[in-house]
Structures are given as structure tokens and as C-alpha cells.
Amino acid sequence: GVGLDVVASAANRVGGEVFLTTEPGKGTTTTLEVPLARRGEAVMLLRVGQLRLALPSAVVRRATRLDPSMTVERDGRTIARFPDRLVPFVPLARLYAQPARDRQLLLEGAVSGQVLAVAVDDVEGEQEVLVRPMTRKVAADRLLEGVALLASGEPVGVLAPAVLAQREYLRALPVARERVLIKKVRVLLVDD
């Protein structure tokens, strides 16, 4: 049913598989195979403000310099205007509440037939890493599909391209960073 589709989808995201075996009169056995760590995966190391993140290299097809004059906000989405096309994208700096550089890089690609576009401050290079899936206890940020240890030993969050490519998710992004207003308030506490 639908429940098993969800399980199969989750297993596929981390490189696993789901098997069903039915024996008449005995029932059905469900086997879930999930690797402890994936095989080596090439990732692009991204700089977003003070953060360092990774994105699977296989999904990136193009990198273009993005000037602030090229971006517009429309219908709750951030869009890059090029002479030949409009590209809705995820501004990762805004998403992670980081200061963005004036000139960013727009990384474009595709995942599962959906367009993927994210803005980052810089691409620091590419590395072959082992990606460990996020456990349910740790997975507070659904944008991350796992954690990789770089050659330096530094852990880096690996972005989930399938989540970033969801159009509904793009619409849910805040259009502008909210200003935080701090105001002192006097409180009188009386105890009888």
C-alpha cells in the first residue's frame, strides 16, 4: 500500500532496498536493507555564510554568477532573471539565516526529473566522501540527507537534492529576512 511506498522511498534515499516475500499460509516477510554508510560519493563543498555544506555533484549541471540585480521576488519565490530564461531558486543563505555575499553562484541541475537550483556564496571544491544517513533522532533539518566526513576530519551536512527540488518547498520559503526588534519590557512581580 501507500505505507510501503513511503518506506521504499526512504530506503532508496539512503541507498537501501525493501523486499517482500510471501509464503502461502505463513504470511508476508518484509526485509529492509539499509547500508551503514554509502559507497564513496562525489560532493561539491559549498560555502553559505559561515556554514560549509555539501551537495551531491551528480545533480549539478551548471554554475552561473548571480548578481543581486538579476533576482526578483515573485509569488513567494526567489527567481533569477537571465536573458533567455527565468529560474526559481532556493537562497540557502536566507534559509540558514546566514549573511549572503552580494555576488553568489547559482547552481542548477535536476533530480528525479525536477529542476534544482540553489544560490551559494562559493564552491570550495569537490571531494569523494562517505555519506552516512541522518538518523530519525538527529534529522531535525529535512534539507539534510546525511553527514559526510571530509578528508580533514570535518563533518559536513549533505543537502537532500530531492527536497530542495520540491516546488511546494520553494513556495514555503520566507520572502525576506524578518527583522528582529528587541524592546525592553518592565515587569512587576508581586508575591503574596
What pLDDT, on the 0 to 100 scale, is given for residue 109? 92
Residues 169 and 127: their CA atoms lie apart, in Å, by 28
Read off the DSSP letter of residue 165: T
Q: Distance between CA 40 and CA 32 in Å, rounded?
A: 21
Cβ within 8 Å of residue 108, ≥6 positions away: 60, 61, 62, 63, 64, 87, 89, 115, 116, 117
Mean pLDDT, residues 20-32 taken together: 88
Q: Give the helix, strand, coil percentages of the chain, each rounded to 5.
A: 15, 45, 35
Classify domain 40-171 at the CATH topology level. Answer: OB fold (Dihydrolipoamide Acetyltransferase, E2P) (2.40.50)
The share of the chain scoring above pLDDT 90, in percent, equals 29
**Is residue 11 within 8 Å of 18, Cβ to Cβ?**
yes
The type of residue at 4 is L
List b or e across 134-172, with b for residues whose CB sees 16 or more CB atoms inside 10 angstroms.
beeeeeeeebbbbbbeeeeeeebbbbbbbbbbeeeebee
Rounded CA separation 90/157 (Å) = 17
Average pLDDT over residues 103-121: 90
For residues 191 and 59, what is the distance between their CA atoms, to the nearest angstrom? 62
pLDDT at 186 over 80: no
Q: Is the pTM of this model over 0.85?
A: no
Where are the domains positioned within the chain? 2-33, 40-171
- C-alpha grid cell, residue 69: 540585480
C-beta separation of 180 from 130 below 8 A: no
Average pLDDT over residues 20-29: 89
